[in-house]
């Protein structure tokens, strides 16, 4: 399982790289939850204009399919590459070491923010199932009307 985005032209804007990675995370998180799986690690592959690639993997703090946890790991991977002037052709994100979701353990907290995010995630998954992927999600993942 992976999610990938190939740019129409070589992309130099780091903000655009981050927006695309967040969109890939949203896609993967939904697919993991729908498939009843959790990931133990996340891999980011960057393909450059000359066709070369850089691949980095990071273990997750706990096995999960929760979008905010996946997004934090993906941002860490992307930021760690330091792509300020890189001409990026494509970005690919892949969850690693998948396990059944029933194997997951969720640490309970007194912070209600995580519970609200999980309820929102469930609603977004239902909307994607009913209306198709990409109908709802983080505002930064949608293209700007120009």
Look up the CATH number of the domain holding residue 29. Answer: 3.30.1490.100
Tokens of 16: 């655009």
> Does residue 140 register a pLDDT over 90?
no
Strand, helix or coil for residue 46: strand
The pTM assigned to this predicted structure is 0.75
Q: Is residue 54 in some structural domain? A: yes
Beta bridge partners of 93: 3, 44
Which strand (E) or helix (H) includes residue 26?
Answer: helix 14-34
Would you state the pLDDT for residue 85? 85
50 in a structural domain: yes
Domain contains 53:
yes
Band of pLDDT at residue 116, cut at 50, 70 and 90: confident
Give the span between the Cα atoms of 82 and 62, in whole angstroms: 25
90-113, pLDDT tens digit by residue? 999 999 999 998 876 666 667 777
What is the Cα–Cα distance from 7 to 77, expressed in whole angstroms? 19
Helix 112-131 / helix 14-34 crossing angle, nearest 10 deg:
80
Per-residue pLDDT tens digits for 23-81: 999 999 999 999 999 999 999 999 999 999 999 999 999 999 999 999 999 999 999 99
Is residue 24 a part of any domain in this protein? yes
Number of domains observed in the structure of the chain:
1
Kind and range of the H or E element at 127? helix 112-131
Strand 88-96 and strand 53-64: the pairing is unpaired
Residues of the domain holding 42? 3-132
Does 145 fall in a domain?
A: no
**In a domain? residue 15:** yes
The verdict on residue 126 lying in a domain is yes
Tell me which residue has tokens 């992309």. 11
Per-residue model confidence (pLDDT) at position 103: 75
């Amino acid at each position: 399982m992976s999610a990938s985005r190939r740019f129409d032209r070589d992309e130099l804007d780091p903000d655009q790289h981050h927006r695309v990675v967040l969109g890939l995370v949203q896609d993967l998180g939904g697919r993991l939850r729908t498939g009843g799986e959790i990931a133990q690690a996340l891999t980011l592959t960057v393909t450059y204009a000359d066709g070369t690639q850089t691949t980095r993997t990071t273990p997750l703090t706990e096995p999960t399919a929760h979008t905010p946890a996946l997004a934090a790991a993906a941002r860490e991977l992307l930021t760690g590459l330091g792509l300020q002037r890189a001409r990026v052709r494509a970005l690919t994100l892949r969850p690693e070491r998948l396990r059944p979701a029933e194997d997951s353990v969720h640490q309970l907290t007194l912070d209600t923010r995580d519970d609200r995010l999980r309820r929102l995630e469930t609603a977004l998954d239902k909307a994607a199932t009913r209306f198709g992927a990409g109908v709802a999600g983080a505002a930064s993942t949608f293209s700007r009307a120009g």
